[in-house]
Amino acid sequence: MEPLLCFPAVPPTAVTSVLEREGYPWKGVDRAEGADVDEPEDGWSGAVICTSADPAGAFALCRHLRAREVPLAPIVVVLPTGQLADLELREDLFDDLCIEPVNPDELAARLAHLFWRTGRGLRPDLLEHGPLVLNLETYQAAVAGKVLDLTYMEYELLRFLAARPGKVFTRETLLSRVWGYEYYGGARTVDVHIRRLRAKLGEEHAHLIQTVRSVGYRFGQTAWTP
């Protein structure tokens, strides 16, 4: 999936947290020209334009994106209630809008609907279990919208387990399936990575990786046995 264009260059945290939680890559620009200079080779997948800090610049960018040879869509505008009276609806500058303060679920739903309707910017492959979201394209994992700082093998172990919820795997099986048959490390390697994963998931979500006594580990939703 190509990135979303975001304005301004550093969008509000309420917006970026939704994009990261839902697995949408994005790149910020601070002026209309940046939409062309920084455009990826395959184009933008859409745009999220926040107007609160610079409404004139935001709508100038919208006009620029619509005036291109191939007008960009979808465009979502995020604006504070106080700017509704001056909204430039007549120019068809955007496809949808979201009012600040942003409701995360509303913004996520509006983006998903627009991308489905336009057929552009479809969501990347995601593996979702409640608050946990793994982006299979970017190798990122997030819990409740917060991106986890995982090593490659921590991510691979979490992905392997999360893709097979409820199934129990011995340490030896995890070593061969995640690390590979060429890896000669002992079972302690698995235990160490599980412990680190639980710590990074946080106390509230550590139970997603369960210990099955005398057997191994599984991914699930119920309380785990330490």
- What are the 10-residue block averages of pLDDT along the chain, 226 residues in total? 90 91 88 90 91 92 91 91 69 86 90 72 69 84 88 93 89 87 72 94 91 91 42
CATH of 126-219, one of 1.10.3720.10, 1.10.1240.10, 3.30.460.80, 1.10.10.10: 1.10.10.10
Long-range contacts of 28-37 (CB under 8 A, 24+ apart): 29/5, 29/61, 30/57, 31/57, 31/61, 32/57, 32/60, 32/61, 32/63, 32/64, 32/65, 34/9, 35/5, 35/61, 35/64, 35/65, 35/72
The pLDDT of residue 222: 45
Residue limits of CATH 1.10.10.10 in the chain: 126-219
The secondary element (H helix, E strand) that includes residue 219 is: strand 216-219
The class (CATH top level) of 4-118 is alpha beta
pLDDT score of 225: 39
What's residue 170's pLDDT? 92
